[in-house]
Amino acid sequence: MSDGKVLAICADYLGFIAALRDRAADLGLAMGSENAAEISGLAGATLARLMTPKTSGKILSIESFGVVLGLLGVKMLVVEDVAQTTRMKTRIVRRNPGYVRDQVTHLAIPKETYREMGRKGGKIRKERIGAKRCSKSARHAALIRHSGGPASIRSYNARAAAMARWAKYRGKRDGSADHLETCAPAPDGTPRQP
């Protein structure tokens, strides 16, 4: 299985890093040297930072893992730890093979399902937080939504809202609903006739 000698045995990340540092010392490789950076293709002192014996800082990634192993002329071999396996066998719950999928499953969910979820979510939220707080939240969202954009659009929206409120007030005062139409100008600035 292996054509070289066993250099180290490690059971955790720090032990693995220590084994790589020992291998670099055996080869006489300076981790922060330009030579190591040139051979590995890693930038500057990246190799030295990857080999620090600390848990914080840079760690080997998917890209750098193979590069570092190749630079140091080592390969990984996964071997069963018999003592640890016997300790853990009594604690491991076997998985149900019926739940195991060997292929990716894609679900096609129609848009209507998402609309229905949105309706249900809005209804539940309104029940939970109350109508008054929900109204306040919606008013705040509307303010944010209409506060952006050019000043002419904000001005138009403010004027239209004021005219609608005034028309509503006049309708209540006069007792008729005729005056509920607003006289707000169109977005292009031309006046509208009620």
Cα 150 from Cα 154, distance rounded (Å): 7
CA angle 129, 135, 140 (to 5 degrees): 110
Final residue of a structural domain among 72, 101, 116: 72
Q: What is the pTM of this model?
A: 0.46
Mean pLDDT: which of 97-101, 107-111, 168-172 is highest?
107-111
Q: Does residue 61 lie within any of the structural domains?
A: yes
50-93 residue pLDDT tens: 888 776 677 888 888 888 888 888 888 888 888 888 888 888 88
DSSP H stretches of helix in the chain = 13-27, 34-40, 46-50, 62-72, 82-89, 111-129, 131-147, 151-174
Contact status, residue 43 vs residue 67, Cβ threshold 8 Å: no
Cα 13 from Cα 53, distance rounded (Å): 9
| For residue 193, pLDDT beyond 60 | no
Q: Does residue 181 lie within any of the structural domains?
A: yes
Q: Does residue 122 lie within any of the structural domains?
A: no
Q: Does residue 8 lie within any of the structural domains?
A: no
Q: Does residue 24 lie within any of the structural domains?
A: yes
Range with lowest mean pLDDT among 25-29, 113-117, 180-184: 180-184
Final residue of a structural domain among 5, 37, 72: 72
Indicate the pLDDT class of residue 176, thresholds 50, 70 and 90. Answer: very low
Helix (H) or strand (E) holding 41: none
Q: Does residue 28 lie within any of the structural domains?
A: yes
Q: Does residue 172 lie within any of the structural domains?
A: yes
Q: For the chain, how many structural domains are there in total?
A: 2
**What pLDDT, on the 0 to 100 scale, is given for residue 132?**
85
**What pLDDT, on the 0 to 100 scale, is given for residue 95?**
81
109-146 residue pLDDT tens: 888 998 999 889 888 888 888 888 888 888 877 776 77
Q: Does residue 136 lie within any of the structural domains?
A: no
Final residue of a structural domain among 23, 47, 72: 72
Range with lowest mean pLDDT among 3-7, 62-66, 133-137, 169-173: 169-173
Tokens encoding 87: 């300790």
* CA quadruple 149, 150, 153, 156: dihedral sign: positive
Residue 191 CB: number of other CB atoms within 10 A? Answer: 8
Tokens encoding 152: 């002419």
Contact status, residue 40 vs residue 71, Cβ threshold 8 Å: yes
Q: What is the mean pLDDT of the chain?
A: 78
**What pLDDT, on the 0 to 100 scale, is given for residue 182?**
46
Domain residue limits at 54: 13-72
